[in-house]
């Protein structure tokens, strides 16, 4: 916990992305201030209020532009449960503070100070992160201790009749056994699905046919993470196509993977990342023969993603790529210009604009934009880009 404080720097990349994410969260809070967006729905608010400045961070990847948690438990509670949930949360700690003060006044100073320090450490941790099993375990352990300390003598004056106590004990035991069996069944299914998915990811690069069979196995189990397995499948197949890996019966495998991925998207129709991923993946498959239907699907997914998460440069780049594959470089230029307009300080947007202009026979204008990208810190990602820049005389 202390390390979280010692590492704080407003100039650090992590701090900057946290602040930008918090700004998006507060902006999203205003859309549902009373009850909030609902538990585990932070990503919807974040995507709808995406800050294009986030693309400046992450070393050229898009990882920092997707957040499913605000990395601040207080903001998470505020945005997901609204004012009502936040007040309830505050009341819990208000009564905890009162009780700690009472036992301090009664002479248990050491105990009250230790507990107060523990809660302060907990607050320090969740201010820069989100609750996890580890933090919850410590929190509820301390709250449980406080409850037992407060009620230590209550049980002495509350004794059930022996018969009633026996009945309640048996009913409780039966209920516990049923719950444990249900949890065992559910978790066993999830474990087997996760294991098959992990085996598929490990096997596919070496033996695509065996990998596909394992993906099919993972999808046969009941699991709340099925959509993740479906995207693992399509990502593996798309990666193999990009690398020109030989796969038998490629067309049927691509169709199977696309069908599963589209099921995942339809299961979670308001998650922008699914549509953006599909736009990228359809572009990959669109490079094979430039099938108009495939490229049309890429465009549809990209445009749907922008409805859910406006000004997201990654999606705009994929739409520009789709337009280039459709031999519509003028449309690619327009998509790239939108990316630049989203935040003029992000160098990679100028890179895509420059490429689109060059493809549109506007080489002079394209070179100017590519130079802006380099001046803003854009780094070539591979040898092909380095050679391209060199050939432009930059």
Residue 255 lies in a domain: yes
| DSSP structure class, residue 52 | G
CB burial of residue 172 (10 Å; 0-12, 13-18, 19+): exposed
Q: Give the total number of structural domains in the chain.
A: 3
Together in a domain, 183 and 209: yes
Q: Are residues 123 and 209 in the same domain?
A: no
Shared domain for 372 and 333, answered yes or no, is yes
Residue 314 within a domain: no
Is there a single domain that holds both residue 232 and residue 337? Answer: no
> How many helices (DSSP H) and strands (DSSP E) are in the chain?
17, 0
CATH number at residue 345: 1.25.40.10
- The full DSSP string for 184-213 is HHHHHHHHHHHHHHHHHHHHTTT-HHHHHH
pLDDT computed for residue 205 by the predictor? 93
Q: Are residues 70 and 141 in the same domain?
A: yes
Inside any domain, residue 278:
no
On whether both 12 and 137 belong to a single domain, the answer is yes
Asked if residue 90 is part of any domain, the answer here is yes
Whether 311 is in a domain gets the answer no
* 79 and 113 Cβ atoms separated by less than 8 Å: no
Q: Give CA–CA dist 81/79, Å, rounded.
A: 6
Q: Is residue 264 part of a domain?
A: yes
Residues 185-202 have pLDDT tens digits of 778 889 999 999 999 999
Q: Let me know: does 333 contact 358? Beta carbons within 8 Å.
A: no
Looking at the structure, do residues 171 and 262 belong to the same domain, yes or no?
yes
For residue 12, the model assigns a pLDDT of: 55
Residue 156 lies in a domain: no
Phi, psi at 387, each rounded to 5°: -65, -40
The count of residues in the chain is: 394
pLDDT, residue 6, reads: 43
pLDDT for position 3: 46
Q: What's the distance, Cα to Cα, between the start and end of the chain in Å?
A: 47
CA distances from 221 to 73, 107, 226, 266, 337 (A): 33, 57, 8, 19, 45
**CB 256: neighbour CB atoms within 10 A?**
17
Q: Are residues 130 and 176 in the same domain?
A: no
Domain boundary among 242, 269, 296: 269
Of the residues 244, 269, 294, which one is the last residue of a structural domain? 269
| Per-residue pLDDT at 52 | 96
What is the C-alpha to C-alpha distance for residues 289 and 294, in angstroms, rounded to an integer?
A: 10
Long-range contacts, stretch 374-381, CB < 8 angstroms, 24+ apart:
374/347, 375/347, 376/345, 376/346, 376/347, 376/350, 377/347, 378/60, 378/347, 378/348, 378/350, 378/351, 379/60, 381/60
Q: What is the pLDDT along the chain (394 residues), one digit of tens a residue?
A: 444 444 444 455 677 888 999 999 999 999 999 999 999 899 999 999 999 999 998 777 898 999 998 888 899 999 999 999 999 999 988 988 898 898 888 888 888 888 888 888 888 878 877 666 666 777 778 888 887 777 654 554 555 555 555 666 677 777 888 888 887 777 888 999 999 999 999 999 999 999 999 999 999 999 999 999 999 999 999 999 998 888 888 889 999 999 999 999 999 999 999 999 999 999 999 998 789 999 999 999 999 999 999 999 999 999 999 999 999 999 999 999 999 999 999 999 999 999 999 999 999 999 999 999 999 999 998 999 999 999 988 8
**Residue 278: how many CA atoms within 13 Å on its side-chain side?**
30
394, 373 contact by CB (below 8 A): no
pLDDT for residue 92: 87
Decide: 325 and 286 in contact? Cβ < 8 Å: yes
- 110, 63: one domain: yes
Query: How high is the pLDDT of residue 13?
Result: 61
Q: Are residues 128 and 235 in the same domain?
A: no
- Residue 187 and residue 126 share a domain: no
Residue 367 lies in a domain: yes
- 139 and 184: one domain? no
Task: Name the domain boundary from 269, 284, 307.
Answer: 269
338 contacts: CB under 8 Å, gap ≥ 6: 311, 316
The model carries a pTM of 0.85
Range of the domain at 77: 2-150
């Amino acid at each position: 916990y202390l390390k979280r404080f010692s590492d704080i720097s407003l100039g650090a990349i992590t701090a900057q992305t946290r602040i930008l994410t918090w700004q998006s969260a507060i902006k999203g809070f205003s859309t549902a201030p009373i009850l909030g967006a609902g538990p585990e729905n932070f990503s919807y608010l974040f995507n709808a209020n995406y800050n294009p400045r986030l693309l400046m961070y992450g070393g050229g990847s898009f990882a920092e532009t997707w957040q499913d948690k605000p990395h601040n438990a207080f903001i998470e509670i505020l945005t997901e449960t609204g004012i009502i949930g936040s007040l309830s949360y505050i009341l819990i700690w208000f009564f905890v503070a009162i009780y700690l003060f009472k036992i301090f006044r009664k002479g248990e100073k050491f105990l009250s100070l230790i507990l107060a320090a523990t809660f302060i450490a907990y607050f320090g941790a969740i201010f820069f992160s989100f609750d996890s099993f580890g933090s919850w375990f410590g929190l509820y352990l301390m709250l449980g201790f406080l409850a037992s300390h407060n009620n230590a003598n209550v049980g002495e004056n509350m004794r059930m009749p022996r018969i009633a106590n026996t009945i309640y004990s048996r009913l409780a035991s039966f209920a516990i056994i049923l719950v444990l069996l249900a949890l065992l069944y559910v978790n066993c299914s999830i474990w087997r699905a996760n294991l098959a998915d992990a085996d598929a990811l490990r096997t596919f690069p070496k033996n695509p046919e065996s990998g596909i069979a394992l993906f099919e196995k993972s999808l046969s189990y009941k699991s709340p993470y099925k959509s993740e397995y479906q995207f693992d499948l399509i990502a593996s197949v798309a990666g193999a196509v990009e690398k020109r890996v030989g796969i038998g019966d490629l067309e049927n495998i691509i169709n199977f993977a696309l069908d599963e991925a589209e099921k995942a998207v339809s299961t979670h129709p308001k998650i922008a990342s699914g549509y953006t991923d599909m736009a990228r993946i359809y572009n990959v498959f669109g490079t094979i023969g430039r099938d108009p239907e495939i490229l049309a699907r890429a465009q549809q997914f990209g445009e749907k993603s922008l409805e859910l998460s406006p000004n997201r440069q990654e999606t705009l780049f994929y739409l520009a790529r789709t337009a280039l594959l459709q031999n519509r470089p003028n449309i690619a230029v327009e998509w790239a210009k939108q990316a630049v307009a989203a935040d003029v300080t992000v160098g990679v947007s100028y890179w895509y604009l420059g490429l689109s202009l060059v493809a549109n026979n506007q080489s002079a204008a394209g070179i100017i934009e590519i130079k802006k990208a380099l001046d803003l810190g854009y780094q070539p990602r591979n040898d092909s880009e380095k050679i391209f820049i060199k050939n432009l005389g930059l």
